[in-house]
A and B are shown apart, each in its own frame.
With several copies, the nearest count.
Chain A
Amino acid sequence: MSILVDENTKVVVSGITGGEGAFHSALMQDYGTQVVAGVKPGGGGTVTERGVPIFDTVAEAVEKTGANAQFVVVGPRFAADSIIEGAAAGIDLIVCITEFIPVQEMVTAVRFVKSQGTTRLVGPNCPGILTAGKGKIGIIPPSSFTPGSVGVVSRSGTLCYEIVDALTRAGIGQTTAVGIGGDPILGSTFVDILPLFEADPETKAVVLVGEIGGADEEIAAEYIKTMTKPVVGFIGGRSAPPGKRMGHAGAIVSGTSGSAQGKVDALNAVGVAVAETSSDVPGLIRQALARVGVTV
């Protein structure tokens, strides 16, 4: 088990012939992921250097290869359309790492994906998903991962890597790490991913990595109330001064709403210990697991 991605996931890569697309598809293959197809308009009938067949459309790739997941790594002008193409072709899981997709296009794309009912989108502007030892879709660097029992879900890509690194250094392995992305319009938020960890028998505890801005952590806290598995939190930007923009469109501190303290309070209120810095996460996870009788 694990969530979303494993050794049976069959990935079609939209943008497989681009620089990043080719590079990261190869890294995905190196990590054992089944990359079964690529899509490049007009490129149908050819194969990549690594022997992956290329098709003109996602629909054809699905028909011919049984792909059930799509990695979207095309430029920002084409990414929303590529997501829509994947959802229209009945793909189960779409991971889009593309940054700078026009927001209005994402409003349309997410609306369409949700109207399809059966497709899950992770991203855009996210690092993707990595299941330790089984496979990955996206750009998460696998070197820090080690198989284990902790799930990680993060708004920030690099903080996600950091926390996985800290866990592994502390001898705590992971099931799956999901980077949901930092854009204002996202396919999946915390409350879409947490239930998957809750249902996954291998996952014993979850690290939720939030950051300032928005209300996703507060909404997640409502759901965590209903979870049986322990969750440990970390909020990036606790030391950020209020009123200053810190990158991500989402990371705007305005009054209480969206502040690090508001999020910490909301999580604490539902029994979630929140780490002061990322290096405190492994200790809190160990305590949380001990409380439910799991020793790591």
Chain B
Amino acid sequence: MKMQEYQGKELLAKYGVPVPKGQVADTPEEAAEAARALGGVAVVKAQVLAGGRGKAGGVKVTKTPEDAQAFAASILGKELYFEQAKGNLQIDRVLVEEALSIAKEYYIGITTDRGSQRNVFIVSSQGGMDIEEVAHSHPDAIGRLPVDPFLGVRDFDIRRVAQQGGIPAAEIKDLAPFLKKLYQAYVDSDATLAEINPLVVTTDGKFIAGDAKISIDDSALYRHPELAVYAETSEETDEYEKEAHRRGINNYVHLGGNIGIIGNGAGLVMGTMDEVKRAGGEPADFLDIGGGAKAELVKNSLELVLSDPNVKGVIFNIFGGITRGDEVAKGIIAGTESVKVTVPIVVRLAGTNAAEGLAILKGTDLIPAETMQEAAQKIVSLVGSD
């Protein structure tokens, strides 16, 4: 779950990570009031999950409460185009913050890294810009610190990563508590990403989180009810993906072709896409029902895929391990009963309880296939290649 900037900063503040003074506003009037509370000058920032808010016209430094109000009015309730998301996003909320007196901008990130199997800090003195660009242009200005979960962040770690990241030794005494608190916030909140870019060093030498991009592990949300309330926020710009989100289908990607693809397991669904493409078809979507899916989810998935008018045929490819063929078959039947099906549906069922599933599907209009390849070829021949 991605958190918006103001949510991330609320979280960080709880752990003592310094963030700018400020408050969120849902209306232009609230924005004016917030700016007034800050003494007039403020930064007004659109709150959306997509990056590139500056380029999208979503951030402005305002000199007076009236300025703040006017800018908020110009974006609240409106849609802005975000290059990174390749689409429009509506702005429902702004963050009104004190304007910091910036001496330097650093970059601090933590993410959980597959390779080292640890939480890894990325530290750089080159903040305020795209860290991937920094990694290319100034590889020497990037410090990398895998944190041993049994030890936490140690002072010697911080000295080392600061040196690698080009942060002066004299600033370690300020950097150390910042990193330790950020790490605690990260681990305690079950984050999977926390990016502070920029970490602002103010002209009076304070370290303050200028921005906060935090993602929380969905699997751990159950133990963070205070964060789970944020989970409503969605960054999808595609209407089918928004609908999938609403239906609780987590692994759906809209692709725009004409053959709907539903399967169990990301690898198998991708493999099915490959076979459909090779057979001359064009996948309309990627939809992974996951492991151990129940009939209700299968039904929902079929309804979603069929709601796309481009879809001229559907392929179900199920090779059950923990997923049981009979559950899937029941779901397919339920789906075909709840919506009017006008396109061919090819079903390939193998693995756990496949025989039971095939028995359930017997006598329906569903077209059986024995292998993935056969299923792909059948649906493409029925739909016709693009």
The reply, when asked whether chain A contacts chain B directly with Cβ atoms under 8 A, is: yes
Name A's B-contacting residues (CB within 8 A). Answer: 20, 24, 27, 41-42, 44, 56-60, 76-77, 81-82, 84-85, 88, 97, 99-105, 107-108, 110-112, 115, 125, 127, 138-141, 143-144, 154-162, 165-166, 169, 182, 184-186, 209, 211-212, 214-216, 219, 236-241, 244-251, 255, 276-279
Contact of A169 among B172, B292, B371 (CB under 8 A): B371
Q: A102–B220 contact, CB under 8 A?
A: yes
Cross-interface CB contact of B160 among A60, A103, A216, cutoff 8 Å: A60
- Complex CA–CA separation, A171 to B162 (angstroms): 55
**A289 → chain B closest CB, angstroms:** 22
A76 to B190, CA, bound (A): 14
Asked if residues A212 and B352 are in contact (CB atoms below 8 Å), the reply is no
Q: Which residues of B lie under 8 Å from residue A186 when comparing CB positions?
A: 114, 117
Chain B residues with Cβ below 8 Å from A278 are 271, 274-275, 372-373
A57 touches B320 (CB 8 A): no
A85 touches B372 (CB 8 A): no
**A141-B321, A278-B271 are known contacts. Are A112 and B190 too (CB-CB below 8 A)?**
no
Q: Say which residue of B286, B321, B350 sits within 8 Å of A240 (CB atoms).
A: B286
Residues of chain B having any CB pair with chain A under 8 Å: 112, 114-115, 117-119, 132, 148-151, 154-157, 159-160, 163, 169-170, 172, 187, 190, 192, 217-220, 222-223, 251, 253, 255, 263-271, 273-275, 277-278, 283, 286, 288, 290-292, 319-322, 350-352, 354, 371-373
**14 more CB-based (< 8 A) A-B contacts, given A159-B271, A214-B114:** A102-B219, A107-B112, A112-B150, A112-B151, A125-B291, A140-B321, A156-B267, A158-B263, A160-B267, A161-B319, A165-B371, A212-B270, A238-B270, A277-B274
For B220, give its contact among A42, A104, A219 (CB under 8 Å).
A104
Contact A279 B373 (CB under 8 A): yes
Partner of A139, one of B148, B217, B283, B352: B352
| Chain B residues positioned under 8 Å from A244 (CB to CB) | 253, 255, 286
User: Which of these, B170, B220, B350, contacts A141 with CB under 8 Å?
Assistant: B350
In the complex, the answer to whether B292 meets A277 with C-beta atoms within 8 Å is: no
Tell me how far the C-beta of B367 lies from the nearest C-beta in chain A, rounded to whole angstroms.
19
A161 vs B291: C-alpha distance in the bound complex, in angstroms? 14
Tell me, in angstroms, the Cα distance from A238 to B276 when the chains sit together. 12
**18 interchain pairs, CB-CB under 8 A:** A42-B172, A44-B169, A104-B217, A104-B220, A108-B150, A111-B148, A111-B150, A139-B321, A141-B320, A161-B268, A162-B372, A184-B112, A236-B267, A238-B274, A239-B283, A248-B267, A277-B271, A278-B274
Complex interface: chain B residues within 8 A of A245 (CB): 253
Q: Which residues of A sit under 8 angstroms from B112, Cβ to Cβ? A: 103-104, 107, 184-185
Report the separation of the CA atoms of residues A186 and B117 in the bound assembly, to the nearest whole angstrom: 8
Is the beta-carbon distance between A162 and B160 smaller than 8 angstroms? no
In the complex, A237→B321 CA distance in Å?
A: 20
Task: Enumerate chain B residues within 8 angstroms of A182, measured Cβ to Cβ.
Answer: 266-267
Give A156 to B187 CA distance when docked, in angstroms. 28
- State whether A161 touches B351 (Cβ < 8 A): yes
**Which 3 pairs, one residue from A and one from B, show the smallest C-beta to C-beta distance?**
A156-B267, A247-B266, A158-B265
Complex Cα–Cα for A20 and B192 (A): 29
Q: A246, B160: Cβ atoms under 8 Å? A: no
In Å, the complex CA distance between A112 and B154 comes to 13
Indicate if the CB atoms of A144 and B192 lie closer than 8 Å.
no
CA distance A180 to B112 in the complex (A): 19
Interface hub of B115, B148, B251, B322 (most chain A Cβ within 10 A): B322
Tell me the complex Cα distance, A295–B56, Å.
62
Q: Which residues of A contact B278 (CB under 8 A)?
A: 276-277
- Give Cα A88 to B154, complex, Å: 11
- Chain A residues with CB under 8 A of B274: 236-239, 276-278
Contact A110 B154 (CB under 8 A): no
Tell me the minimal C-beta distance from A191 to chain B in angstroms.
11
The answer on a CB contact under 8 Å between A251 and B114 is no
| A160 proximity list for chain B (CB < 8 A) | 267
Contacts of B273 in A (CB 8 A): 237, 239-240
Query: Do A81 and B156 contact each other (CB < 8 Å), given the known contacts A159-B268, A161-B319, A211-B267?
Result: yes
**Complex-state Cα separation, A57 to B220, whole angstroms:** 25
For B156, list chain A residues within 8 Å (CB).
41, 57-59, 81-82, 84-85, 88
Q: Contact between A241 and B255 (Cβ–Cβ < 8 Å)?
A: yes
Q: Is the CB of B114 within 8 A of A166?
A: no
Of B172, B219, B266, B372, which one neighbours A246 at CB under 8 angstroms?
B266
Contact of A56 among B115, B163, B277 (CB under 8 A): B163
Cα A279 to Cα B160 in complex, Å, equals: 50
> Are the C-beta atoms of A111 and B149 separated by less than 8 Å?
yes
